[in-house]
Amino acid sequence: MRELKLLTGRSHPKLAEDIAEYLGIQLCDVSLSNFANGEISFRLNESIRGNDVFILQAHSESDAGGSINDSILEQAIMIDAAKRSSAASITAICPFLGYARQDRKAGGREPITGRLVVDLFAAAGADRIMSVDLHAGQIQGFFNGPFDHLIARPTLVKQFQAELKDEDFVIVSPDAGRGKSAERFSSDLNCGMAIIHKHRSTSEHNTVEARYLMGEVENKTCIVIDDMIDTAGTLCAAADLLMEKGAKQVYGVATHGVLSHPAMERIDDSAFKKLFITDTVPLPKHRSAKLEVVSIAPLLGDAIRAIYEQSSVSALFGGQNQL
């Protein structure tokens, strides 16, 4: 009988441990290190022949000092090892998929790096890919096989609903690109929504100025939603604008807390009362008191179990189109 084997790289072992505990299993015994010249050394210390193998890696910097590029290559190496060790199936779990924002050519002579990352996993031997809240849903089409796109929205909604009982909500999209996502949040909460038109500086990267607001927010609790917080420029500009327009209080919700510099300083100085994020990537030990972390381990654990038992992953979201 096939067994479920869960492996993890070095970028986010805590998440893998939480998933293993949720599933009631032990993480697969592996050895991971670096040679003197920086090359990655990997070895499986137990047999996985004929088993369903799930290889988890957050594409981010790690506490061990590795970069996002190291994390991606490490996962590809682990996939290759599993394939050569006669795994029955291999699922690459990428809670946060690296380079997902580079999903198309925005200008001439540019790569589509998101496609390149997916192709790397396919070439290494992945039969399936799993990720959470892709920056662009069409990335699923980069892979010629099953691609499970998990949605963190139900988990996040449950969290802030419990904390903000009896509040008059308005869901706010920080830009036009998040409009569909904001619409789904507002449908779940049966509340209104608003959209902010943002202007991004053409002369300086990661500089955002929020300019126009479409929707009614006065005396309401606003919840700004996004798929990720990188430098926090977009979200913090949105929060400041909402308070200027008479919002009662402003909360934020994002799946991926990338939190590149100067995100922490911006969040601390922003109008946000609190920001809800998940742990799809490892988070700094010393972080803003305004951040509240929601575990994504149960969602990933349920999806892993569904794949292993060959049941429906979409049933986790009520069988509805959640993308």
Model confidence at 321, pLDDT cuts 50, 70, 90, reads very low
- Indicate if the pLDDT at residue 74 is higher than 90: yes
Q: 245 catalytic, yes or no?
A: no
Chain segment 91-116, per-residue pLDDT in tens: 999 999 999 999 999 899 999 999 99
Chain segment 135-159, per-residue pLDDT in tens: 989 999 999 999 999 999 999 999 9
Q: Are 262 and 237 a contacting pair, CB within 8 Å?
A: no
Segments making up each domain of the chain, as ranges: 4-151+297-317, 153-294
Q: What is the DSSP code (8-state) at residue 27?
A: P
Chain segment 178-210, per-residue pLDDT in tens: 899 999 999 998 999 999 986 655 555 555 565
How far is CA 14 from each of CA 97, 112, 140, 150, 290, rounded to the nearest angstrom? Answer: 18, 31, 26, 20, 22
User: For residue 295, which of 186, 132, 184 has the smallest C-alpha distance?
Assistant: 132
- List the catalytic residue out of 14, 83, 158, 198: 198
Instruction: Tell me the pLDDT of the chain averaged across its residues.
Output: 93
What is the CATH number assigned to the segment(s) 153-294? 3.40.50.2020
Cα–Cα distance between 300 and 149 in angstroms, integer? 11
Class of CATH domain 4-151+297-317: alpha beta
Identity of residue 193? M
Cα–Cα distance between 107 and 208 in angstroms, integer? 20
Instruction: Give this prediction's pTM.
Output: 0.93
